[in-house]
């Protein structure tokens, strides 16, 4: 079995004016499960009940300030990104999405209806759309001791009842490894979880951002972090490089199914 990780972007046009007074992550999450449910009810229920590392992520409206009310205008375009870490999830979601588009059935996000104008699945159409196999990630030849990750949306980690919102290398890569091992046919050794403590932060340009949900707030960091891998550990070097690229599809940390922890690896200049 070849496991493919997917990232797609949905282009929407608003059918009416509206305002989201709170960060719409929960509404996006509900929309995703509703679309999956219309194709495969049992899968949607499994995803809803799933504990631990989730097999999908959903963004808020791309490019919109998550700290303020999001004002939607009729006939304007809006974009939402979805990633899937399994063929089963991707196929159910995309089948439902295309059915809605063909039948011209609107998507309802909160109190606003949107028409599906396009579904972008390759990076020629959007920088946020792509797909890759675990094997392709693992076959990457150019391994760098310094890797740069940009955290586009607030990223945080939860330990028990405590939320941590600093870019701790061990937590970043442990989060990625657990998700990679769950959804990839090729696994990393679990002893890397301890080794990630050796990874250091070489550069950091981050800020804290607080997001208002409908009943609570969450704080996380956004910005750029350059991680440094120690010399003479090829296994650790390989893992950090692969997982940094995987972050684009998996997200990092807590609440990735509601738009938190959206990340991408950048080239070092």
**With 70 as the cut, is the pLDDT of residue 2 above it?**
no
Q: What is the mean pLDDT of residues 24-46?
A: 94
Question: Does 25 or 214 have the greater pLDDT score?
Answer: 25
What's residue 214's pLDDT? 79
- Both tokens of 49, joined, read 């009940």
Q: What is the mean pLDDT of residues 12-41?
A: 95
What's residue 72's pLDDT? 95
Inter-axis angle of helices 234-250 and 169-183, to 10 degrees?
80
**With 70 as the cut, is the pLDDT of residue 1 above it?**
no
124-148: b (≥16 Cβ within 10 Å) or e = eebebbbbbebeebbeeeeebeebb
- Percent of the chain at pLDDT > 70 equals 99
Q: What is the mean pLDDT of residues 8-18?
A: 98
- Both tokens of 157, joined, read 């980690």
Architecture of domain 139-266: 2-Layer Sandwich (3.30)
Residue 198 makes CB contacts below 8 A (sequence gap 6+) with 229, 230, 233, 236
Q: Label residue 128 by pLDDT band (50, 70, 90).
A: very high
Residues forming CATH 3.30.70.1900 domain(s) in the chain: 139-266
Q: What is the mean pLDDT of residues 35-46?
A: 94
* CB distance 155 to 264 below 8 Å: no
Q: What is the average pLDDT value for the chain, to the nearest integer?
A: 94
Inter-axis angle of helices 25-39 and 87-102, to 10 degrees?
90
Q: Label residue 140 by pLDDT band (50, 70, 90).
A: confident
CATH placement of domain 4-131: 3.30.70.1890
Residues forming CATH 3.30.70.1890 domain(s) in the chain: 4-131
Cα separation, 27 vs 23, in Å, equals 9
What are 142-151's pLDDT values in tens digits? Answer: 899 999 999 9
DSSP one-letter code for 106: P
What's residue 51's pLDDT? 84
- Both tokens of 137, joined, read 């990630």
pTM for the model: 0.95
Q: Residue with structure tokens 């020629």?
A: 124
Q: Label residue 3 by pLDDT band (50, 70, 90).
A: low
Total residue length of the chain: 269
- Per mean pLDDT, which range of 27-36, 49-58, 148-157 is the poorest? 49-58
* CB distance 116 to 9 below 8 Å: no
What's residue 124's pLDDT? 86
What's residue 161's pLDDT? 84
User: Residue 252 phi/psi, 5° resolution?
Assistant: -130, 130
Q: What is the mean pLDDT of residues 27-32?
A: 96
3-state DSSP call for residue 232?
coil
Question: Does 212 or 149 have the greater pLDDT score?
Answer: 149
* CB distance 253 to 54 below 8 Å: no
**With 70 as the cut, is the pLDDT of residue 250 above it?**
yes
């Amino acid at each position: 079995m070849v496991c493919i990780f997917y990232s797609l972007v949905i282009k929407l046009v608003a059918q009416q004016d509206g305002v989201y007074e709170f960060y719409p992550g929960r509404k996006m999450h509900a929309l995703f499960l509703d679309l999956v449910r219309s194709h495969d009810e049992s899968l949607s229920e499994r995803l809803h009940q799933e504990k631990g590392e989730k097999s999908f992520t959903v963004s808020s409206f791309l490019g919109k300030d998550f700290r303020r009310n999001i004002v939607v205008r009729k006939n304007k375009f809006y974009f939402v990104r979805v990633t899937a870490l399994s063929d089963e999830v991707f196929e159910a979601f995309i089948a439902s999405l295309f059915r809605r588009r063909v039948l011209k059935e609107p998507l309802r996000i909160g109190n606003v209806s949107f028409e599906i104008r396009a579904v972008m699945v390759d990076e020629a159409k959007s920088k946020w759309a792509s797909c890759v196999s675990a094997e392709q990630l693992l076959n990457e030849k150019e391994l760098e001791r310094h890797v740069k990750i940009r955290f586009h949306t607030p990223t945080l980690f939860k330990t028990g009842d405590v939320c941590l919102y600093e870019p701790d290398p061990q937590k970043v890569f442990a989060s990625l490894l657990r998700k990679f091992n769950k959804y990839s046919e090729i696994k990393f050794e679990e002893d890397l979880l301890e080794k990630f403590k050796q990874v250091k932060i070489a550069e950091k340009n981050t800020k804290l951002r607080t997001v208002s949900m409908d009943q609570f707030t969450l704080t996380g960091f956004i910005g750029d972090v350059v991680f440094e891998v120690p010399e003479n550990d090829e296994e650790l070097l390989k893992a950090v490089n692969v997982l940094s690229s995987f972050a684009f599809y998996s997200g990092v940390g807590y609440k990735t199914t509601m738009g938190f922890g959206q990340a991408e690896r950048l080239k070092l200049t």
